[in-house]
Structure 1
Amino acid sequence: MRTDLTTIAAGVLLLAGIGAAAAQDVVIQPQDETVIQEYVKKQPLASVKIPGVELNVGTALPDTVELHEIPNVKYRYVVVDNHTVVVDPGTRKIVKIIQ
């Protein structure tokens, strides 16, 4: 019986981990991606440097980094090391790197 409970617990933890990983994947809708790309081309920003931060999807940007609005899209953007970075304003995590 103890082995059965251990196996069940391991399975639940595995499934919970898979669910958490899937929740981290952000899919930007094609229409939003088009709006984002067109907007950032029309509204270029000066590039900033963020020492110690690697530009990867899922990386959270510090509160000191100013995020800029994109009309009619829930995401914000900033240019870091000459890369346009799309950020979820709620978590400040990078959801897409453009360029």
Structure 2
Amino acid sequence: MKRPLMAGAAALAVMFAGQALAQSVEVEIAPEQRTRIKEYVVKERVAPVRVKERVTVGAVLPADVELRTVPADWGPWGTRYRYVYADDHVVLVDPSSRKVVRIVE
């Protein structure tokens, strides 16, 4: 009887550890890519969005905030994410959860 309980407990521990790791992943962006992103926002005159709450990594953006497609020249990682321009920063968002994964300053 102890073995099935231990196996179940081990499976739960692995599942929760995986979720914790998935939540802590941050997108790494090289300095030259950050410059390219900032230049794009200025050149294309990307309209800023207004968000009532403070935008931080890990925060979830409201459903009424329109997410924009990341341009291909920002890097291969961009196909996984969307972005908004808020508070003078480009904010990368996981579209499935609407969770902020990176703020480009």
TM (normalized to structure 2)?
A: 0.65
Residue number in structure 1 paired with 2:10: 11
Letter paired with 1:82: D
Partner of 1:85 in structure 2? 91
Structure 1 unaligned blocks of 5 or more = none
Q: Which has the higher helix share?
A: 2
Larger RCO, structures 1/2 (Cα 8 Å, 6+ apart): 2
8 Å contact kept, 2:57–2:102: yes
- Distance, in Å, in 1 between the alignment partners of 2:18 and 2:83 is 27
Q: Which runs of 5+ in 2 are unaligned?
A: 73-77
Deviation at 1:47, TM superposition (A): 3.8
Aligned-pair distance for 1:17?
0.3
Counterpart-to-counterpart distance in 2, 1:57 and 1:46: 21
Counterparts of 1:1-99 in structure 2 under 5 Å?
A: 1=1, 3-28=2-27, 30=29, 34-35=32-33, 37-44=35-42, 45-51=46-52, 53-72=53-72, 73-74=78-79, 75-99=81-105
The structural deviation recorded for 1:46 is: 4.4
Figure out how many residues of one structure are paired with residues of the other and give that number: 96
Q: Using the TM superposition, give the Cα deviation of residue 7 of structure 1 relative to its aligned residue in structure 2, in angstroms.
A: 2.9
